[in-house]
Copies of this chain bind each other. A is one copy, B any other.
Amino acid sequence: MKIQMFMYPGMTLLDLVGPLQTWNSWPDAEFQLVAEKPGSVSTDSALSVNASHTFDEAWSKPDILFVPGGPAPTFELLADQKAMKFLADRGEHAEWIGSVCTGSILLGAAGLLKGYRATSHWFARDLLTAYGAEVVHERWVIDRNRASGGGVTAGIDFGLALMAHICGEETARQSQLGMEYSPKPPFSSGTPEEARPETLEAVTAMFIAGAGDLDLAEVVSASAAKIDV
């Protein structure tokens, strides 16, 4: 099982680590942590991580190609032709293609979600329609060989669901027990529907501020214009 995980500066760390930890007990799995350049890759947190392989060294036909999301840097990556070309190429040859959070925006821009059901972070998921995807409001969705999860923490549910889909429920159940995944959120505040109105307003304002001068709908639209949707 060749699992290839795509990385880029500024990505949301837990988007990557949720599935990585979930799949860590996958029997016979090998992992590549792939970035454009060798060495350290920054994240949205104070912790930087290290690429194991560059684009040129990455398996040409992985079993899973996985893409994490993130805030503004994810949308800035839409203009990075090398990165988008890498995703389009590996996506064409991978057995399975997965994303968490706004990782699905990158897959969409690489032309990999046209005609597929997909999801993303609640703040960004409607943007996926620009790439010809059918947006669903689920924690995760698997449509043929494309799987996507919602925002950040959804990567654990997504990871277990895809693992069960590919190699059976018992393997996923063992991973779940190993990670003691019996969540007990102290509050009910994980979706716009569950959150208090003032919480939703504050977080939405933070995300808009975090985008800075970047008009997300505009960069998505510009990237969609480059592919056949």
Interface, chain A (partner B; CB < 8 A): 12-14, 16-18, 20-21, 24-25, 31-33, 40, 44-50, 52, 101, 121-122, 139, 150-154, 156-157, 160-161, 164, 169-170, 172-174, 176-192, 194-196, 198-200, 202-203, 206-207
Which residues of chain B are within 8 angstroms of A121 by Cβ–Cβ distance? 180
Contact B45 A50 (CB under 8 A): no
With A47-B17, A48-B49 given, is the CB distance from A199 to B174 under 8 Å? yes
The residue that A13 contacts in the complex, of B17, B32, B207, with Cβ under 8 A, is B17
Give Cα A179–Cα B32 distance, bound, in whole angstroms. 25
Contact A177 B157 (CB under 8 A): no
A90 to chain B, nearest CB (A): 17
Which residues of chain B are within 8 angstroms of A152 by Cβ–Cβ distance? 21, 178-181
The 5 closest A-B pairs by CB, nearest first: A182-B190, A151-B180, A31-B46, A14-B21, A183-B183
Contact A177 B199 (CB under 8 A): yes
The residue that A183 contacts in the complex, of B24, B156, B169, with Cβ under 8 A, is B156
Pick the most buried of A46, A47, A174, A183: most chain B CB atoms within 10 A of its CB. Answer: A47
Copy number in the complex reads 2
Contact B177 A181 (CB under 8 A): no
The residue that A154 contacts in the complex, of B172, B176, B180, with Cβ under 8 A, is B180
Contact B183 A190 (CB under 8 A): yes
Which residues of chain B are within 8 angstroms of A150 by Cβ–Cβ distance? 180
Contact A179 B199 (CB under 8 A): no
Give Cα A150–Cα B20 distance, bound, in whole angstroms. 19
Contact A194 B174 (CB under 8 A): no
